[in-house]
């Protein structure tokens, strides 16, 4: 006789609405009621517990509760009582509705965060954008100070909003990670470029440094690594008053190729006392109360970093002493991915570097020596160094006469200028300097420009617009840009930025009008706000990708107030070529527009 046939219903709970059973010590079913036999008949006659492979919690006081799915996919809450003979009485209650309600609550939270992001960032975009435009007009000294104060207050509010929304997203549910190859060096560079205007405004440098043996490409979740970097770099710039910030990519101590990667954000700020280092990674925590009064912030950035590191099976921490700066780091398992191409080698280059900043000098030195070149730091007597190219930083303190004298010499000069300071580039050009690289310095751009300066071929991948697209010079002259934005303030800001850069801008109010306009006339670039009435930016992008009409093939750029990865992913899936978040950064908008339009212009030559 089979064990299933031996199971006799217990009259006490045979007709109970919830599944119930008398279980052996190993979980095997001894007897069960009708509801149990209907749902869990697959375990009758076996030695398997009805909850399958779920590992239940231990008994506490002879009782335990836990959730487990049934074969039909419904979720049941189990309640067990252990009897004196070691057997157990168990009841299961269907709680699928509770799980559905929890999922619906998560969806509601996601929608709430997206709405909050949009509603809070949209007016901030107007405040920050208009103060930025106002600052570019002739103002008296007092008025300029007032505008700067308004902008700084708006940026502080934006930082607080971003921290709280990021933390709320993590609290709302589990972190979903992606595994895909990405360019880690480019991700670090993007963080440096985003933060460089604030750094240079404070008179500090920011640079990326690739350590020997470190990978440029890895497999992992780029968006999460980017989020960690933005938090760490933002903190470093905020707390550093002199010196600078370095983003290092390297290997953990004793690390082997293809195993783990370590990023370190070093600053020359005030440092952190050892007894405060553990607590700063807690929620709403800062090293001392004076920090929140002086610098602001909700104290959530490092808590977010800690959570993201743990989600990636990694660790985050800090090495610091009070008064000696800080090195915040994260290391995590990240298999190396093949790099599509490497920057050109610099065996033919011996550079003389004129720079005051140690941060900049270390980064430039590592980039050149890592590619086989040589670099020596000096202030004069360049002939004695044997250099065949001179690199001069904008912040080195040389006057126009000294720069002019260098440019008139036999050794070519390459200038370094902040990406947001077009006057610096014009100053070098006026002094006769023909070559420049903008800061934060991209390793490939530096290598290619050095080779061009000494008359060598930089290789087939050389892009003459690689650095021009980060300069505010009018690289958009004559380019036609279609802007679709339903908010009139945001449209005015974006249109003004692009027009000042030389572009011809046509503005429409929604995606339907954008599709009609793009199909009717040729545009070099189409910028689409993702949230618009009638037809949103995503649907407009899909329609233009399917039939662009007169603007077929024109790059499509997303514009949104939602800084979350959801919009970024949906934009990519819809075929958009790049992604801009509000508040609109003039440097970022000009850079994106210049990159696409400059290459379109080159393709027509």
> Distance between alpha carbon 200 and the CA centroid of its chain, in Å?
21
Domain locations in the chain as residue ranges: 3-94, 174-333, 350-470, 480-604
Give the tens place of pLDDT for each residue, 399-413: 889 899 988 988 999
| pLDDT above 50: residue 415 | yes
Pairwise CA distance, residues 164 & 112, whole Å: 13
CATH for 350-470?
3.40.50.2300
Is CATH 3.30.565.10 correct for 174-333?
Answer: yes
Place 490 in a pLDDT band, splitting at 50, 70 and 90.
confident
- Closest Cα to residue 169, out of 297, 291, 311, 264? 311
Instruction: Determine which of 321-330, 334-343, 559-568 has the lowest per-residue pLDDT on average.
Output: 559-568
Supply the pLDDT for residue 136: 78
Task: Please enumerate in sequence order all residues whose Cβ is within 8 A of that of 352, keeping only pairs 6 or more positions apart, or say none.
Answer: 375, 376, 377, 378, 382, 385, 387, 389, 390, 391, 411
Task: Pick 465 or 181 by higher pLDDT.
Answer: 181
Contact 42, 107 (CB under 8 A): no
Supply the pLDDT for residue 604: 44
Supply the pLDDT for residue 286: 53
- CB burial string 516-554: b at 16+ within 10 A, e below: ebbbeeebbbbbbbbbbeebbbbbbbbbbeeebbebeeb
* Mean pLDDT to the nearest integer, 316-337: 91
Give the tens place of pLDDT for each residue, 281-299: 765 455 454 454 444 444 5
Would the pTM of this model clear 0.85, i.e. be above it? no
Q: Which CATH number fits domain 480-604: 3.50.50.60, 3.50.30.30, 3.40.50.2300, 3.90.1150.10?
A: 3.40.50.2300
Pairwise CA distance, residues 17 & 163, whole Å: 48
Give the tens place of pLDDT for each residue, 221-247: 888 898 899 889 988 998 899 999 999
Q: CB neighbours (10 Å) of residue 139?
A: 13
Tell me whether the CATH fold assigned to 350-470 matches the one assigned to 480-604.
yes
Task: Pick 474 or 114 by higher pLDDT.
Answer: 114
CATH for 3-94?
3.30.450.20
Percent of the chain with pLDDT over 70: 83
Task: Pick 522 or 15 by higher pLDDT.
Answer: 522
Give the tens place of pLDDT for each residue, 427-468: 899 999 989 898 999 999 999 999 999 988 776 444 443 444
Contact 206, 197 (CB under 8 A): no
Pairwise CA distance, residues 476 & 481, whole Å: 9
């Amino acid at each position: 006789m089979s064990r299933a046939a031996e199971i006799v219903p217990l009259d006490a709970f045979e007709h109970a609405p919830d599944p119930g059973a008398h279980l052996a010590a190993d979980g095997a079913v001894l007897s069960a009621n009708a509801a149990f036999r209907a749902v869990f008949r697959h375990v009758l006659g076996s030695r398997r517990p009805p909850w399958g492979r779920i590992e239940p919690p231990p008994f506490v006081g002879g009782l335990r509760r836990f959730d487990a799915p049934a074969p039909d996919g419904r979720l049941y809450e189990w309640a067990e009582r252990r009897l004196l003979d070691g057997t157990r009485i168990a009841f299961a209650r269907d709680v699928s509705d509770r799980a559905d309600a929890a999922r619906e609550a998560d969806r509601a939270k996601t929608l709430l965060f997206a709405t909050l992001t949009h509603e809070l960032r949209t007016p901030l975009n107007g405040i920050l954008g208009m103060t930025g435009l106002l600052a570019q007009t002739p103002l008296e000294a007092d008025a300029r100070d007032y505008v700067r104060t308004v902008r700084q207050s708006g940026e502080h509010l934006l930082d607080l909003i971003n921290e709280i929304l990021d933390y709320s997203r993590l609290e709302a549910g589990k972190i979903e990670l992606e595994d895909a190859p990405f360019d880690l060096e480019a991700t670090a560079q993007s963080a440096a470029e985003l933060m460089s205007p604030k750094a240079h405004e404070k008179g500090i440098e920011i640079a990326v440094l690739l350590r020997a043996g470190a990978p440029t490409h890895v497999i992992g979740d780029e968006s999460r690594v980017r989020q960690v970097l933005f938090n760490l770099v933002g903190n470093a710039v905020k707390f550093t008053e002199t010196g600078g910030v370095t983003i290092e990519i390297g290997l953990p101590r004793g690390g082997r190729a293809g195993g783990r990667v370590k990023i370190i954000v070093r600053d020359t700020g005030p440092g952190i006392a050892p007894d405060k280092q553990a607590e700063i990674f807690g929620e709403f925590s800062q090293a001392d109360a004076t920090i929140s009064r002086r610098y602001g912030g909700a104290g959530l950035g490092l808590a977010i970093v800690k959570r993201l590191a743990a989600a990636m099976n990694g660790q985050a921490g800090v090495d610091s002493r009070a008064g000696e700066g800080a090195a915040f780091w994260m290391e995590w398992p990240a298999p190396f991915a093949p790099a599509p191409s490497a920057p050109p080698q610099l065996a033919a280059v011996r550079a003389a570097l004129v720079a005051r900043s140690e941060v900049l000098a270390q980064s430039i030195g590592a980039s050149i020596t890592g590619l086989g070149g040589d670099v020596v730091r000096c202030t004069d007597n360049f002939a004695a160094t044997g250099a065949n190219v001179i690199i001069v930083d904008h912040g080195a303190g040389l006057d126009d006469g000294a720069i002019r004298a260098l440019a008139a010499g036999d050794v070519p000069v390459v200038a370094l200028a902040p990406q947001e300071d077009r006057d610096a580039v014009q100053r070098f050009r006026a002094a006769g300097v023909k070559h420049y690289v903008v800061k934060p310095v991209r390793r490939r751009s530096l290598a290619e420009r050095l080779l061009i300066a000494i008359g060598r071929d930089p290789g087939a991948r050389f892009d003459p617009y690689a650095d021009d697209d980060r300069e505010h010079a009018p690289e958009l002259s004559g380019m036609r840009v279609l802007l679709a934005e339903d908010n009139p303030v945001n449209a005015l800001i974006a249109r003004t930025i692009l027009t000042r850069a030389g572009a011809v801008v046509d503005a429409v109010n929604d995606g339907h009008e954008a599709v009609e306009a793009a199909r009717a006339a040729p545009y070099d670039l189409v910028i689409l706000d993702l949230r618009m009435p009638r037809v949103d930016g995503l649907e407009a992008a899909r329609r233009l990708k399917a039939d662009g009409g007169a603007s077929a093939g024109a790059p499509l750029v997303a514009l949104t107030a939602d800084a979350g990865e959801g919009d970024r992913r949906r934009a990519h899936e819809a075929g958009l070529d790049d992604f801009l978040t509000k508040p609109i950064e003039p440097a970022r908008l000009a850079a994106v527009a210049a990159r696409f339009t400059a290459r379109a212009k080159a393709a027509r030559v």
